[in-house]
A and B are shown apart, each in its own frame.
Chain A
């Protein structure tokens, strides 16, 4: 994003932060840039966070997603203001600041809270018409980026794994039911501690109706690729099941018939982005990125497990 837009974003965050205190900034906070990516820029001032959404964001869909966030206290962080405003052609929203997960302390990761919050999101009543969850669209975009990048020896196994996925997981068909309200882009950066100390989900840009197993699929992919220990994976999954989450059958010992396709898609998405970044940065894949590519290579030899054929499936 250009510097003028970042500056304008910082100005509006400061204006909202001091709206109730006479307008003058006395906190000495210069406005911290929390993120500045192609798809979003986020600036914090005091207790207020201003987010400029991706340039191609649909205003009507964002309005619906903001409305959902405002209606699910205790699950999603509610916006500070009801709608989005325009700033330099970008849609901008305002949020209370929350404390993120500590990236330097894997032991403090809130796996139980993540599982329980997703279970409550997936069980939430859906008011009116909600756009589709954008998880498959994000996976398809990552693969398109890989195809557009310079050739790389790790690309073919990733593209083969992608070709083996059913059309709905590649964003080429509607997701099979039953559908639920989904976050669409869950990772540990999507949890913050709200003002009352409870964990909440943030970032509604990809939220919508879809297969709820998609929200479990990134941790599932990390576990399958050996990046997340069985213990942490089990803490997350058990919390989700104990809170009544609908994505995996409650009584089934093996959740993988439900998780297989979304976890493959997230592995492909993550591997595709890793290769694209390695190509752009003219560097080799690191050990973690190679583990994702290796998992993609193994997928071609293993058939997709359809949930309806699973012996334990009760849906």
Chain B
């Protein structure tokens, strides 16, 4: 299946039993008829069980808070920020991430 917007291939993911199509190019998410309703219903049920805590101020720009090991860098996985990674990222990318 191709993205109707940019024509890149779409990948199917399963979230809580609901099929979601995400574009590998523009990262757009496409829902079939009824899927938005299903997701909204699941979200409402979840909200009744336990109200989600407010988003921590240390996770800006939608960066996921990925679990990290205790020996990891102090910033690793906790409050990753574009600016912080922008610096070391370019330095490490071409050399460290390409070699054995």
Chain A interface residues toward B at CB < 8 A:
101, 103-104, 106, 109, 112, 138, 185, 187-189, 222-231, 233-234, 237, 242, 253-256, 259-260, 263-264, 270, 273, 286-288, 291, 294-295, 298-299, 301-302, 305
Contact = CB atoms under 8 A, between A and B. Distances in A.
Given A188-B97, A231-B80, A106 B71 contact: no
The 4 closest A-B pairs by CB, nearest first: A226-B73, A224-B72, A103-B94, A230-B80
A270 B11 CA distance: 34
B51 to A, nearest CB: 19
Nearest to B91: A288
B91 A223 contact: no
Counting contact residues on chain B (CB < 8 A from A), the size range is: 20 to 34
Given A106-B89, A231-B63, A231-B64, A291 B100 contact: no
Given A286-B91, A288-B92, A254 B63 contact: no
A154 to B, nearest CB: 16
A291 B91 CA distance: 12
Given A187-B97, A222-B96, A224-B69, A230 B64 contact: yes
Contact of B77 (A106, A223, A298): A223
B31 interface: no
A106 B90 contact: yes
B71 A299 contact: yes
Given A223-B72, A224-B71, A259-B69, 8 more contacts: A187-B97, A187-B100, A226-B73, A229-B80, A254-B67, A264-B69, A288-B95, A288-B96
Tell me the dominant secondary structure on chain A's binding face: helix
B72 to A, nearest CB: 4
B68 A227 contact: no
Which of B24, B66, B90 gathers most chain A CB within 10 Å? B66
A62 to B, nearest CB: 17
Contacts of B92: 222, 227, 288
